[in-house]
Amino acid sequence: MIRRSFLATAVSTALAFASLPAAAAGFDDMDPVTLRLAHVVTEQDGCHIAAMKFRDLVEERTDGVVTIELYPNASLGDERTLLEGMQIGSIDMGVITNGPVANFVEEMAVFELPFLFPTREAAYGVLDGEIGQELLDRLQEVNLKGLAYAERGFRNLTNSQRPVASPADIDGLRIRVMENPVYIDTFRDLGANAIPMAWTEALTAMQQGTIDGQENPVGVVYSFKLDETQKYMTMTRHTYAPAIFVIGMPSWTKLPEAAQEVLLSSARDAAAYERDYNAEMETTQLEELKAKGMEVIEDADLTAFREQIAPVYEKYGEAFGDYLDRINAELD
């Protein structure tokens, strides 16, 4: 159940939006447009919450001239397929995890570095500031347009074999990771057999027992009912994962400026709404997972984890230009 504080936030947000001046006045002469927005998670996931909020805001602010159709559950393909579709115009938009996006603009993988952000608020400060905007703008180099950072959240380790309280406990576990070199190297340095694969394939692999575990935020573990295949979750909070509202440049450039402005402002507002939702829901979801029988390790030796992934920083510390130094300067 959504807690009272989130409901209060939702109501106050709705009132704030209701008080905004009508944005539809500039759309009288615009032909109706339907944009297809896809993602790979369930309707219970925070990314779908963000997508629904975005849909509602866009339709309200354009008086229905711009309609957003949602395609959840990887119904149009995995995240790489969605991004490639956006590049050529066969798919309009998506809410895409940062890891796959970084395969198109590698500097965005700086956000994937383990234990980079100590808190959500620290991550928001960087993502919503100059550095985050600069990297969103870089997506235009690959025929994509980044609108705003929603989130997957802090990622944690789950597995079906044993409790993990230290890196030694990970040794030999077959762990699915995103198809991103930073994630692959991080878990290899921790001793896992890191197996990169698309999320849709990972779900089947967990059911069949061909992999032992995966790493994702609590919301993903909850919405995909991973407690049915994963007995243990360790609250490593090893990486903060953004999820990005992305639109393909072929679709973006067809829109008039007024519609572009609405999409941009609505993506930012929907991202902020989803962040609040995730923060409120994580505790409730965690308790429900425990009630279903998942063993949650909340006192793992995170210092040992940080020490063991030092080679990741040695390898990638200079791979992202000056972005890591700039982020660390902001965090200091």
CATH number of the domain that residue 252 is part of: 3.40.190.170
Domain containing residue 77: 33-331
Instruction: Note whether residue 11 is domain-resident.
Output: no
C-alpha span between 75 and 71 (Å, rounded): 6
Instruction: Note whether residue 21 is domain-resident.
Output: no
Instruction: Note whether residue 257 is domain-resident.
Output: yes
Strands 174-177 and 193-196: parallel
Instruction: Note whether residue 135 is domain-resident.
Output: yes
C-alpha span between 55 and 59 (Å, rounded): 6
Instruction: Note whether residue 118 is domain-resident.
Output: yes
Instruction: Note whether residue 207 is domain-resident.
Output: yes
Which of 198, 224, 254 has its CA nearest to residue 84?
A: 198
Q: How far is CA 332 from CA 117, 325, 328, in A?
A: 11, 10, 6
Instruction: Note whether residue 321 is domain-resident.
Output: yes
* Type of residue found at 327: I
CB 272 within 8 A of CB 128: no
The number of domains in the chain is: 1
Q: If 0-12 CB within 10 Å is exposed, 13-18 middle and 19+ buried, where does residue 8 land? A: exposed
Instruction: Note whether residue 280 is domain-resident.
Output: yes
The one-digit pLDDT tens for each residue of the chain (332 residues) are 333 344 344 434 443 443 343 445 678 889 999 999 999 999 988 999 999 999 999 999 999 999 999 999 999 999 999 999 999 999 999 999 998 999 999 999 999 899 999 999 999 999 999 999 999 999 999 999 999 999 989 999 999 999 999 999 999 999 999 888 899 999 999 999 999 998 989 999 999 999 999 999 999 999 899 999 999 999 999 999 999 999 999 999 999 999 999 999 999 999 999 999 999 999 999 999 999 999 999 999 999 999 999 999 999 988 898 999 999 999 98
